Structure 1
Amino acid sequence: MENLTQSKATKLSLFNFKSISTRTFWITSIAFFMCFFSWFGIVPFMPDVVRDLGLTPEQKWNSIILAVSGTVFARLLIGKLCDKYGPRLCYTYLLMLGAIPVILCGLVQTPLQFLICRLFIGFIGASFVITQVHTSLMFAPNVVGTANATSAGWGNLGGGANRLGMPLIAAGVVSFGIAEAEAWRYSMVIAGVVCFLMGIVYFFFTKDTPQGNFKELRASGEFISNKKDQVGFLTVLKDYRIWILFLVYAASFGIELTVYGTMDDYLQNTFQLERVTAGNIVLSFALMNIFARTLGGFFGDKFGKLKGLRGRVLFLSFILLVQGVMLITFSTAISLVVGIILLILFSLSVQMAEGATFSVVPFINKKAIGSVSGIVGAGGNVGAFLAAFLLKSRSAVAEEAAIIANEGLGADVISAAQATASASAVSQGYFIIGFVVVLTGVLALAIRFSTEDEVVENIETKNASGKLVPN
């Protein structure tokens, strides 16, 4: 195990393709990008899907819920599988099997078939967990936070890039003489085929660790060679720190998903923006993943060098507090300029919090990195579900009251009243969520590491950077 630690990359050298750590970093980031691209690939085509399959509003919302729900269970499962079989095989099978429902989504003929495909497509959202496990196994303690955050941030771009990429694929399909009404089907098939091919690339061009694959290392006795070195899943579940990080990721990534999912309508209703303008603003903030998550991991590593493992926790707590304050302040903004500035600061802080979270995760339990990553990763989707439910319920009640209060005054008046009521309800929801995030930031301070953990990490960081950090 000591040799395995020493062989990890101590620098994130992006263009050193001779390094297995660098090659794995790029391949896992691209695979993650493709999974998120396919996971949300149907979103730009939903109006076409609704017309083609005759979806009711309830079925449309159910498809969104199913996609998120499937990911929660998949993330919990895939982490444990990574610990047992290694990230290389797990990602290979996830990409190749996950491609099947993506392809089938383009072939569905009924609403039920579409809902089933959306449920199973959600499983590829577990790709995030494998990406974090694989980079954790490839990079040393002094840079693992930066590597984890960068791969996650660049992979997350797939969830925003599909808003541009899938329509371009559809346009290309139409140029070959395919009917425009059928273009969404071909686009999903193409996305699925790319995922399948990416699985083949992952199998042949990556390894589980810098020294080789789990199977060979176990056979040679170099890595987790006997049962006493393994950690049971129940033991992992009993660690209170994992559940704090579960809540932390729910309060960061989960809130990011929900805020960006509701922000288009909020900007239109609050600041009277056109739909295209509001959509472009939200997309531009999503693109901050290119660098914002990396900053979170980078500062997590820096604080780790200065203050040890406790330093990583202190930075995580601080950036969560900033995130919560920014969202609370944004919820009260009445000026578009001020609102955009606050939204920029919120976007920066929430993505940095996500990166900082996974600068702590690799140090919770090194013998069960996959299980820990899976549980924490699932927290993001649980947070998104709960926050979305809060905003949806408050908004629905407010809009219904507005309709009743303005009944008989004309469609335009009712529509305007609905928009105002929705904006007010969502604003209050953002305020509540921001306050919860602040409390989560305080709770994060309860994460503690033993003196032994600090000493071990001190030694490994010294070996990686040539510098001893204070306990």
Structure 2
Amino acid sequence: MRTSTPNLEKATRINLLDFKSVQMRTFHLSWLAFFLCFFGWFAHAPLMNSTIGPDLDLTKAQKITAFIASVGVTIFARLFIGSMCDKFGPRKSYVYLLIFGAFAVISSSFATTWETYLLSRMAIGVIGASFVITQYHTSVMFAPNVVGIANATTAGWGNLGGGVTQALMPLIASGMLALGFAESELSKWRPAMFVPALIMLVVAFLYWKYTTDTPKGNMEDQKADESTNSEEKPTNTFIEAMKDRRVWILFAIYAGCFGMELFVNGRAATYYQTKFLLNETTAGMVAALFGLMNLFARSMGGWLGDRFSKTGGLAGRVKWLVIVMVIEGIALTIFSQMDILGVAIATMIVFSLFVQMAEGATYSVVPFINKKALGAVAGIVGAGGNVGAVMYAQFLLRSGSPLEDCFLYFGVVVAAIGFLGLGVKFSDEDEKAAVAEQERLEALEAELKAKEASLVA
């Protein structure tokens, strides 16, 4: 199959049927790896009320605390993994994380007390850092004209795991009981945890074999070039990223979109069970609709970010981000007031659409903040999502407010956060550099096509 871009350069287009070029192999494997990490990360959520909670005799406060712990640990994991990508490369970082995650998910099935269960959920939370590697890897593989949709699609299809797990884990658990792998209805969740873990190990092998750190190869193969250009790279990428206020604005914005998605993923099934009295399987199916919007919504957010940049440059990407964040907040306040099941589901889907478009829009901006500290920037911004989720869960736990009231309050907060995006500015040099890189890659692609045409002739 003919590749659409020079092998040693960033891809200027996305061809979903291309499995030969390293850019597209990375595209597909990065979203698949993230999908499985997200699936394992939230595999406990749809089973919490019906099996895990009763099996371990957990209180309501302990259930919420387990969610907070699993999401909270990811804050630190994302900060750490971003720097790992800058130093060791995304390929090794992802493989090691997938292996760790597989054993963490399996270990949770052996928990017998609240303390051991809490520790296992904290360990599982580390795999939430997979998002940062996915965004880093596609950012270094794709050109400015498509990096927004590349980042958004791999993240969106990965986030889809959070919706699919809501629907599949109850079915997998029931299947384990029917096949005789579980001793009772309450313990059926334990063998179910082996399913996502084993698949994660398979993908770890594929990631190691079929991807490279950059289009030019793995980082260890480029040490000579790196040493030659070492004066151009910051000595501490994490510190460089922390000094940039734009990073912290995007941190807050991501808390308002991805943080809200995490919170809803963790509470949606319970919300429909308690407010609308749905059973476990039905509530899981309905909650899955929220995550399933990732199939296209996040990609749409990144794609529109790329489109806004064609006429408005990098500032156009920021403008789109502000617009979609404000609409997300409004949609959440409307959803919070719905008391009829069908209407509630419809408004939840609309809300989900804008949540995930906002996430895609955020990471259509991130690659242009600081390319020399891309991993650190991606890690800090990604950690913002988890900080938001923890804050929402803490408010729910400590305020004692009904979940629908919390959604109302959070909607107002999200809309306000959206306006912070107006503080993300780019210099004229940044704008010119983005245009110059795109023109260079397009010229290289045209040259390759010309050579291929001459060979055919």
The answer, yes or no, to whether TM exceeds 0.5 is: yes
Change (3 A) 1:24 1:224: farther
- Aligned with residue 138 of structure 1, among 119, 136, 141: 141
Match status 1:361 vs 2:366: yes
- Aligned with residue 325 of structure 1, among 330, 349, 374: 330
Partner of 1:410: none
Q: C-alpha deviations, 1:287-319, integer Å up to 9, x for none?
A: 111000000000001111111101100110111
Aligned pairs (5 A) from 1:260-299: 260-264=265-269, 266=271, 272=276, 274-275=278-279, 278-299=283-304
Q: C-alpha deviations, 1:248-297, integer Å up to 9, x for none?
A: 00011112222454445555666x46346554333213211100000000
2: CA distance between counterparts of 1:203 and 1:265?
A: 38
Change (3 A) 1:297 1:5: farther
Deviation at 1:384, TM superposition (A): 1.0
Deviation at 1:331, TM superposition (A): 3.3
- Aligned with residue 234 of structure 2, among 207, 230, 234: 230
Partner of 2:32: 30
Q: Secondary structure at the match of 1:250?
A: helix
Partner of 2:68: 65
In 2, are the aligned partners of 1:317 and 1:445 still within 8 Å (CA)?
yes
Change (3 A) 1:333 1:56: closer
Deviation at 1:157, TM superposition (A): 1.2
RMSD, matched Cα: 2.5
| More off after superposition, 59-68 vs 326-335 | 326-335
In 1, are the aligned partners of 2:12 and 2:146 still within 8 Å (CA)?
yes
Match status 1:42 vs 2:44: yes
Deviation at 1:462, TM superposition (A): 2.7
Q: Secondary structure at the match of 2:385?
A: helix
Question: Which residue identity lines up with residue 107 of structure 1 in the other structure?
Answer: F
Partner of 1:403: none
Change (3 A) 1:44 1:437: closer
Aligned pairs (5 A) from 1:199-238: 199-219=204-224, 221=225, 225-232=229-236, 233-238=238-243
Aligned pairs (5 A) from 1:256-405: 256-264=261-269, 266=271, 272=276, 274-275=278-279, 278-333=283-338, 339-394=344-399, 396=400
Q: C-alpha deviations, 1:40-65, integer Å up to 9, x for none?
A: 12233333333433334443332222
In 1, are the aligned partners of 2:61 and 2:397 still within 8 Å (CA)?
no
Deviation at 1:336, TM superposition (A): 5.5
Change (3 A) 1:432 1:287: same
Partner of 1:443: 420
Question: Which residue identity lines up with residue 419 of structure 2 in the other structure?
Answer: V
2: CA distance between counterparts of 1:126 and 1:37?
A: 13
| More off after superposition, 189-198 vs 257-266 | 257-266
Q: How many residues are paired up?
A: 434
Match status 1:78 vs 2:48: no
Partner of 2:409: 432
2: CA distance between counterparts of 1:392 and 1:45?
A: 20
- TM-score w.r.t. length of structure 1: 0.85
In 1, are the aligned partners of 2:27 and 2:138 still within 8 Å (CA)?
yes
Deviation at 1:350, TM superposition (A): 1.1
- Structure 1 segments (4+ residues) deviating >6 Å: 3-6
In 2, are the aligned partners of 1:214 and 1:223 still within 8 Å (CA)?
no
| More off after superposition, 138-147 vs 113-122 | 113-122
Partner of 2:448: none
Q: Secondary structure at the match of 1:359?
A: coil
In 2, are the aligned partners of 1:141 and 1:464 still within 8 Å (CA)?
no
In 2, are the aligned partners of 1:21 and 1:139 still within 8 Å (CA)?
yes
Deviation at 1:223, TM superposition (A): 8.0
| More off after superposition, 319-328 vs 75-84 | 319-328
Deviation at 1:334, TM superposition (A): 5.5
Partner of 1:418: none
Q: C-alpha deviations, 1:429-470, integer Å up to 9, x for none?
A: 33322222222221101100111111101112233457xxxx
2: CA distance between counterparts of 1:428 and 1:118?
A: 27
| More off after superposition, 374-383 vs 157-166 | 157-166
Deviation at 1:68, TM superposition (A): 1.0
Q: Secondary structure at the match of 1:381?
A: helix
| More off after superposition, 226-235 vs 359-368 | 226-235
- From the CA coordinates, give the structure whose radius of gyration is larger: 1
Deviation at 1:217, TM superposition (A): 1.4
Deviation at 1:85, TM superposition (A): 0.5
Deviation at 1:215, TM superposition (A): 1.2
Change (3 A) 1:106 1:159: same
Change (3 A) 1:335 1:162: closer
Query: Gapped runs of 5+ residues in structure 1?
Result: 399-421, 467-471
1: CA distance between counterparts of 2:243 and 2:435?
A: 26
2: CA distance between counterparts of 1:260 and 1:102?
A: 18
In 2, are the aligned partners of 1:20 and 1:210 still within 8 Å (CA)?
yes
Q: Secondary structure at the match of 2:193?
A: helix
Partner of 1:107: 110
2: CA distance between counterparts of 1:427 and 1:105?
A: 31
Deviation at 1:129, TM superposition (A): 0.6
Partner of 1:15: 17
What is the percent sequence identity of the aligned residues?
47
Partner of 2:435: 458
2: CA distance between counterparts of 1:49 and 1:273?
A: 19
Q: Secondary structure at the match of 1:274?
A: coil
| More off after superposition, 150-159 vs 107-116 | 107-116
Change (3 A) 1:75 1:440: same
- TM-score w.r.t. length of structure 2: 0.88
Change (3 A) 1:227 1:52: farther
2: CA distance between counterparts of 1:155 and 1:50?
A: 27
Change (3 A) 1:83 1:249: same
Question: Which residue identity lines up with residue 421 of structure 2 in the other structure?
Answer: A
Change (3 A) 1:163 1:101: same
